[in-house]
Structure 1
Amino acid sequence: MVEIKNVKMKKILFLGLTFPDVKKNTHLYTDLIHEFHNQGHDVLVIAPDEEGRKSSELVIESGIQILRVPTLALFGGNKIVKGLSNILLSHQYKRAFKKHKIAIDFDLILIPTPPITLIDFAAWIKKKSKAKLYLILRDIFPQNAVDLKMMSNGGFIYNYFRKKEIKLYKQSDRIGCMSPANIDFVTKHNPEVDTSKLHLLPNWEKIHELPKDLNETAMREKYGLKDKMIAIFGGNIGLPQRVENIIQLAQASQELEDLVFFIVGRGTERERIKIMAEEMGLKNVILKGNLPRQDYNDVLAIADIGLISLNQDFSIPNFPSKVNAYYCFKKPVLASVDVNTDFGIIQEQIQSGFYSNAGDIESFKSNLLKLYNSKDLRTTLGQNGYMYMKNNLSPEQAYNTIINSFTA
């Protein structure tokens, strides 16, 4: 077992909204929890069931103990079911936890947002075990729902979730924020929060090796990419992403006959985006559902530009985690973002790409042409992003930030 520098943080509890088996898929939380495991911590994950179980079950997946809990549908287009599922989640986790008679002797509780509703269960565990609570703040809710006009400010539903948010900040001993703008937003809109709790915890990801046996010709043939320059977008296609920005850019770039916009993902807005592209008669847009992980990585490896899009209505500063995949595969970043995020500013600071304000298609295209016209520029920016990720955004660095926040 790896020696743990801070023995006071021996037993770790992670409460997640999603936690796939790493044999099938990975994301930033699987990377982080496996880092805790590899550092010698005793970790328990509580997460939704993904195998159709009828009752909760304690399992071991790739060396990690996980309490799998059946829940209602947490994702999808039905907003009422999704909202109810999130509200019930804390109760379902607590009931399963008690059923399996798990010892309440944790030293550290990790809770990410979304969702904020798990705070009730987390606070109960904290009180019983005297554990420290670390909030991984990736989503500022309910304000993001207000921004997207999914909820009215000051209404009953808003007030319910706002009370949960206030409790979340109060109960948390440390709060890891994605960017400086996130810290500023929380401080400005929650003056009661002790600012000493707040610090930077940028999105992290394990660096994956580039495909070594990639048959580029076959991959291009398979997805209609022969002799094409590829601008790729991969991820959720919902209101927060406002993929219309990319469709409008594609419409404005039809004279670039060798350029294709390859959009991969699912989400509540996917069908509408598909219809929009069809009605515009765009031949330079390819829209795909979720690809097999290896295929997606192969297409990303041969792509030329990584696309980011955010809804212009956001008042909260989002920071898309998908950019780490672009860094990892050495792709320059082309972003269309709201005016409140510092995402674009940071890209230009680290010289990994360009950004424009969402809705400004002229500027978006101008930045596209910079990348389109210079392979050397694309290579340089992609390498800069890769080095930034390697030096700053590893799971080990995220782990150290969390642990050191309690020892500094």
Structure 2
Amino acid sequence: MQNLWIINQYALPKGTAGITRHGDFAHELVKMGYKVTVFASGFDYLTRQHDRSEGKNAHVTEHDGVKFVWLKTPSYQGNDSKRVKNMVSFFKTVLLEASFGKYGQPDVILGSSPHLLSGLAGSLLATRYRTPFILELRDVWPDDLVALKALKEGSLTHRLLQGIANHLYWRADKILTVPPKLHRYLANSGVKAQKIMPLPNGVFLDEARDKAELPESLKHLFEVEKDRFKVVYMGAHGVANDLGNVLLTARHLKMTQPEVYEKLAFFLVGGGQQKEMLMQMAEELKLEHVHFHDPVEKAVVPLVTEQADALLVHLHEADTFNKFGRSPNKLYDYLAAAKPVLYSTTDDSTILERTGSGMTFKPNDPRAFAEVLETLLSMSETKRQAMGQAGRKAVEREHDLVKLAEQLAGVLDELCQPAPSALANPLQQS
């Protein structure tokens, strides 16, 4: 039985609210016979409140056979020095907790971004245990930070992060890339092509939802707006999501095309450091058809998407988003729901463009978003349904999470094969 360690600060078990990529993969790998331990921060990055470590340096829980080690890290609220301290604390704590054999001998270690310290911890532990190391790139630091103006190119911090990134590219035995065009960028940057394997985000198709229920608070909101065209966003409310643009779009429509505005209702479901500011902004702008709701567990997501007429992926404009492409977690939940998807991007090679399953619009531009909404409203229901069905078929072909987990299992098996023995050389055989 191969023992895989996954190191990702923001990893969550299958079925919980938030980024469950690693919990989902781990769930499938355990079913295939692998042993999986996930090291993650006990501090909830979405709510900025919940502490899964229960105040201990490390607290272990098990979820359908997957072991989660929740590490104590300091709290933070915004993207400031306290968040940096939180990341550094996770890096140090995972090294201290995992370096002395407490969790057995790993056969493979996977370190995953977004931040590079998870990858660095994974590479150091792989050296410590003399095991293969897999680097997973979900975001591209420091490039993304520069594009979002969170870091100055050429600064000491930028050079340090770039140095760590270059080291990890060299050190990794395999690099898994989530953004759809990142593998080409890495290959062009000198990384050996055989090291790189694209492994996008995915979704469990047709999972049983017998026990899932739509929260009463959301039921009420959908009932209030039952006669309007419901645009639903689900996910983080952070800087990179630029949800202020959604509110400015609603205001633009209210001021310039009130007849269109009155046909629409917006639902923003999730949490993050900008949520309070966004709620206050919506109140100040008197946007009575914009509604906020707390995050919902994964099992509830299909019940929410069922209520939507269109589903929204919203990201800040950034050069790297087009350069590397993006594979947003919720995009595949949306496409699986067979509903039209709206996506703020100038990338003309997205799955929406390839399959006709939705519409894209220029980020940071309320007029562009308003035009797309007006176009979608004017379409026939038959055409909107055809869009949704095209997305569903694309997900079934390319983003079935069970099939993606099988691809990951193939990588693990490849890395765990013993090196050819010197005895295999017939000249050395007796």
Q: Secondary structure at the match of 2:356?
A: coil
Query: What is the CA–CA distance in structure 2 between the aligned matches of 1:292 and 1:225, rounded to whole Å?
Result: 23
Cα separation, partners in 2 of 1:229 and 1:163, compared to 1, 3 Å: same
The count of aligned residue pairs is 393
Is 1:44 matched up with 2:37? yes
Q: TM-score, normalised by structure 1?
A: 0.86
Q: Which moved more, 1:24-33 or 1:255-264?
A: 24-33
Pick one of 370, 382, 388 that aligns with 1:382: 388
Q: Secondary structure at the match of 1:322?
A: helix
Paired residues of 2:12 and 2:22 also in contact (CA < 8 A): no
1:215 shift after superposition: 8.3
1:322 shift after superposition: 1.2
Is 1:244 matched up with 2:250? no
Which residue in the other structure is 1:221 paired with? Answer: 220
Which residue in the other structure is 1:79 paired with? Answer: 80
1:15 shift after superposition: 0.9
Which residue in the other structure is 2:421 paired with? Answer: none
Paired residues of 2:71 and 2:90 also in contact (CA < 8 A): no
1:25 shift after superposition: 4.5
Q: Deviations over 1:300-335 (max 9, x none)?
A: 211110011111134343332211221222221111
Query: What is the CA–CA distance in structure 2 between the aligned matches of 1:19 and 1:313, rounded to whole Å?
Result: 25
Counterpart of 1:79 in structure 2: which amino acid? D
Which residue in the other structure is 1:34 paired with? Answer: 27
Cα separation, partners in 2 of 1:355 and 1:108, compared to 1, 3 Å: same
Which residue in the other structure is 1:195 paired with? Answer: 193
Counterpart of 1:62 in structure 2: which amino acid? D
Q: Secondary structure at the match of 1:384?
A: helix
Which residue in the other structure is 1:177 paired with? Answer: 177
Cα separation, partners in 2 of 1:402 and 1:214, compared to 1, 3 Å: closer
Pick one of 333, 341, 344 that aligns with 1:333: 341
Q: Which moved more, 1:219-228 or 1:391-400?
A: 219-228
Paired residues of 1:277 and 1:285 also in contact (CA < 8 A): yes
**Which stretches of structure 1, 4 residues or longer, exceed 6 Å deviation after superposition?**
212-218
Q: Deviations over 1:32-88 (max 9, x none)?
A: 111111111122222223142323244433212233321223x63152111122123
Counterpart of 1:206 in structure 2: which amino acid? F
Counterpart of 1:336 in structure 2: which amino acid? S
Paired residues of 1:23 and 1:62 also in contact (CA < 8 A): no
Counterpart of 2:352 in structure 1: which amino acid? Q
Cα separation, partners in 2 of 1:348 and 1:394, compared to 1, 3 Å: same
Query: What is the CA–CA distance in structure 2 between the aligned matches of 1:56 and 1:112, rounded to whole Å?
Result: 19
Paired residues of 1:231 and 1:261 also in contact (CA < 8 A): yes
Is 1:91 matched up with 2:85? no
Counterpart of 1:156 in structure 2: which amino acid? L
Paired residues of 1:333 and 1:352 also in contact (CA < 8 A): yes
Counterpart of 2:11 in structure 1: which amino acid? F
Cα separation, partners in 2 of 1:208 and 1:168, compared to 1, 3 Å: farther
Which residue in the other structure is 2:58 paired with? Answer: 56
Which residue in the other structure is 1:11 paired with? Answer: 3
1:248 shift after superposition: 2.8
Q: Secondary structure at the match of 2:329?
A: coil
1:349 shift after superposition: 0.6
Q: Secondary structure at the match of 1:117?
A: helix
Paired residues of 1:210 and 1:301 also in contact (CA < 8 A): no
Q: Which moved more, 1:88-97 or 1:192-201?
A: 192-201
> How do residues 41-190 of structure 1 correspond to structure 2 at under 5 angstroms?
41-49=34-42, 50-73=52-75, 76-98=77-99, 101-104=102-105, 106-188=106-188
Query: What is the CA–CA distance in structure 2 between the aligned matches of 1:353 and 1:282, rounded to whole Å?
Result: 25
Which residue in the other structure is 2:419 paired with? Answer: none
Q: Secondary structure at the match of 1:152?
A: coil
Counterpart of 1:390 in structure 2: which amino acid? E
Is 1:352 matched up with 2:353? no
Cα separation, partners in 2 of 1:225 and 1:99, compared to 1, 3 Å: farther
Cα separation, partners in 2 of 1:237 and 1:57, compared to 1, 3 Å: closer
Paired residues of 2:230 and 2:308 also in contact (CA < 8 A): yes
Q: Secondary structure at the match of 1:240?
A: helix
% identical equivalent positions: 22
Q: Deviations over 1:317-362 (max 9, x none)?
A: 333221122122222111112x3x46x6321212211102213444
Which residue in the other structure is 2:428 paired with? Answer: none
Cα separation, partners in 2 of 1:217 and 1:377, compared to 1, 3 Å: farther
Pick one of 394, 402, 406 that aligns with 1:396: 402
Query: What is the CA–CA distance in structure 2 between the aligned matches of 1:226 and 1:148, rounded to whole Å?
Result: 37
Counterpart of 2:242 in structure 1: which amino acid? R
1:220 shift after superposition: 4.5
Paired residues of 1:274 and 1:287 also in contact (CA < 8 A): yes
Q: Which moved more, 1:119-128 or 1:136-145?
A: 119-128
Query: What is the CA–CA distance in structure 1 between the aligned matches of 2:31 and 2:366, rounded to whole Å?
Result: 46
Counterpart of 1:221 in structure 2: which amino acid? H
Q: Secondary structure at the match of 2:62?
A: strand
Cα separation, partners in 2 of 1:58 and 1:263, compared to 1, 3 Å: closer
Which residue in the other structure is 1:4 paired with? Answer: none
Q: TM-score, normalised by structure 2?
A: 0.82
Query: What is the CA–CA distance in structure 1 between the aligned matches of 2:208 and 2:375, rounded to whole Å?
Result: 25
Query: What is the CA–CA distance in structure 2 between the aligned matches of 1:33 and 1:211, rounded to whole Å?
Result: 20
Superposition CA RMSD, Å:
2.9
Counterpart of 2:71 in structure 1: which amino acid? V
Query: What is the CA–CA distance in structure 2 between the aligned matches of 1:211 and 1:116, rounded to whole Å?
Result: 36
Pick one of 287, 301, 304 that aligns with 2:306: 301
Is 1:261 matched up with 2:262? no
Which residue in the other structure is 2:329 paired with? Answer: 321
Which residue in the other structure is 1:3 paired with? Answer: none
Q: Deviations over 1:216-267 (max 9, x none)?
A: 9995534532322210011111111111332233233332213101112222
Query: What is the CA–CA distance in structure 2 between the aligned matches of 1:226 and 1:217, rounded to whole Å?
Result: 15
Which residue in the other structure is 2:234 paired with? Answer: 234
Q: Secondary structure at the match of 1:287?
A: strand
Query: What is the CA–CA distance in structure 2 between the aligned matches of 1:69 and 1:51, rounded to whole Å?
Result: 6
Query: What is the CA–CA distance in structure 2 between the aligned matches of 1:366 and 1:395, rounded to whole Å?
Result: 34
